[in-house]
A and B are shown apart, each in its own frame.
Chain A
Amino acid sequence: GAGVSQSPSNKVTEKGKDVELRCDPISGHTALYWYRQSLGQGLEFLIYFQGNSAPDKSGLPSDRFSAERTGGSVSTLTIQRTQQEDSAVYLCASSARQGVLSGEKLFFGSGTQLSVL
């Protein structure tokens, strides 16, 4: 079946503009994660959604970042007033049940390459 789908695959924006990144998880997966991968760096946790529970936003780097998940499926990561340091690959992952908490593996999308000029 289809894997995790992210769009757009590439996004170039000007400093100060807002951007929205979209993630379509695998159907039936209740856990959804956003990670950020900066050049030459590891994966930095941003936010975690599990079912109808309140999301864990502890990884969001500033209040310019927000995310929502509608209907327990599609998620959107929004970055307001983008800065050059926001340039990175934004990866979405989904997992069955409670994800890592229950020992489930993560399925990653191919990511959105964000470039802020």
Chain B
Amino acid sequence: GENVEQHLSTLSVQEGDSAVIKCTYSDSASNYFPWYKQELGKGPQLIIDIRSNVGEKKDQRIAVTLNKTAKHFSLHITETQPEDSAVYFCAASRRGGSYKLIFGSGTRLLVRP
């Protein structure tokens, strides 16, 4: 079955710097890759997603890139702010073939003021 690896458990950056979180996946048929942000005491919230027919998607300070050949995708946050501090989860699924999202183990991002 699908396996999603999120190798970095924690990431600490200085406010204003960029943060990059990378995930790898195993199922070459995966074609939908969302990123969820979870703040303390809350449920995860979708922040950006990408489908396999594009290589990059941007939304203001966040972007996601996808490398289908290498089977990895990354979340990029520029000009980080303290409110970006949270746990970020990547996920993958086969849209049209599966309704299950397989999640990575999460990366805790700490933005130091």
Could you tell me which A residues sit within 8 Å of B by CB distance?
4, 31, 35, 40-45, 48, 50, 56, 59, 91, 93, 98-103, 105-106, 108-111
Contact = CB atoms under 8 A, between A and B. Distances in A.
22 contacts: A40-B9, A40-B105, A41-B105, A42-B4, A42-B103, A42-B105, A42-B106, A43-B44, A43-B89, A43-B91, A44-B103, A45-B100, A45-B102, A48-B99, A56-B99, A93-B43, A100-B98, A101-B98, A103-B95, A105-B34, A106-B44, A110-B41
Nearest to A111: B43
Contacts, number: 65
Contact of A108 (B9, B41, B44, B99): B44
B24 interface: no
A40 B101 CA distance: 18
A72 to B, nearest CB: 16
Contacts of B105: 40-42
B23 to A, nearest CB: 11
A59 B2 CA distance: 14
Contact of B42 (A31, A56, A106, A110): A110
